[in-house]
Chains A and B, each alone.
Chain A
Amino acid sequence: EPEVTQTPSHQVTQMGQEVILRCVPISNHLYFYWYRQILGQKVEFLVSFYNNEISEKSEIFDDQFSVERPDGSNFTLKIRSTKLEDSAMYFCASSLTGKEKLFFGSGTQLSVL
């Protein structure tokens, strides 16, 4: 079965640094998402992306966050100036139509020191 690929699996960074989390969605999918899970808490929606623009975002997704589909295969999440509270597991997901099920990647564990 096709799968969503996320890299790296673990990322450690210093507070204030920029990080880019990378995702390769399933090739014919059109809808893309980022979720995150802070340790011990719920998986939270961050943003959805369709047709090269953000279709919805949560309150968490402030000006420090941005998403981009720089080419036909990658979907990235950038955090401009990381904070300690950004430490979490970040999941990328994609969907063919936005009405069908989501396919998730295995996540990137981000640790901000």
Chain B
Amino acid sequence: GNSVTQMEGPVTLSEEAFLTINCTYTATGYPSLFWYVQYPGEGLQLLLKATKADDKGSNKGFEATYRKETTSFHLEKGSVQVSDSAVYFCALSTFGNEKLTFGTGTRLTIIP
């Protein structure tokens, strides 16, 4: 079956630090990969996605590259801001099905 393993949190960084949140997956077929973000008091929002190997998803300064050889989709940002404080979820879907398989989420706190 499908599964997503995500870096354990919580993660606390200073403003302008470099961020990496690791995500690896197991899937049948060729999954699409996603990062969702949940800001306090809000729903999960799609942050970025990649649908095939070597694709790079990017949004709001965040990037993640679909690495088929390592079955990974690590989230990176070069310089984080306080407003990036949120919970980040890695997820996948297969066969065009919007049923998502999520990781446990990583709580990120950025300190000024």
Contacts and interface: CB of A to CB of B under 8 A. Distances in A.
A56 B93 CA distance: 14
B46 A106 contact: no
* Interface SS, A side: strand
Interface residues of B, number: 21
Contacts of B97: 56
A101 B103 contact: no
B31 interface: no
A76 to B, nearest CB: 17
Given A42-B102, A56-B99, A98-B98, A105 B49 contact: no
Interface stretch (A14-22, A43-51, A65-73, A77-85): A43-51
B43 interface: yes
Nearest to B4: A42
A104 B45 contact: yes
A112 interface: no
B69 interface: no
B44 A91 contact: yes
Interface string B50-64: 000000000000000
Q: Which of A3, A6, A45 has the most CB of B within 10 A?
A: A45
Given A43-B89, A48-B98, A56-B99, A106 B104 contact: no
A37 B89 CA distance: 12
Interface of A: 3-4, 6, 31, 33, 35, 37, 40-45, 48, 56, 91, 93, 95, 98-99, 101-107
8 A-B pairs closest in CB distance? A104-B43, A43-B102, A104-B44, A106-B43, A101-B46, A105-B43, A42-B104, A45-B99
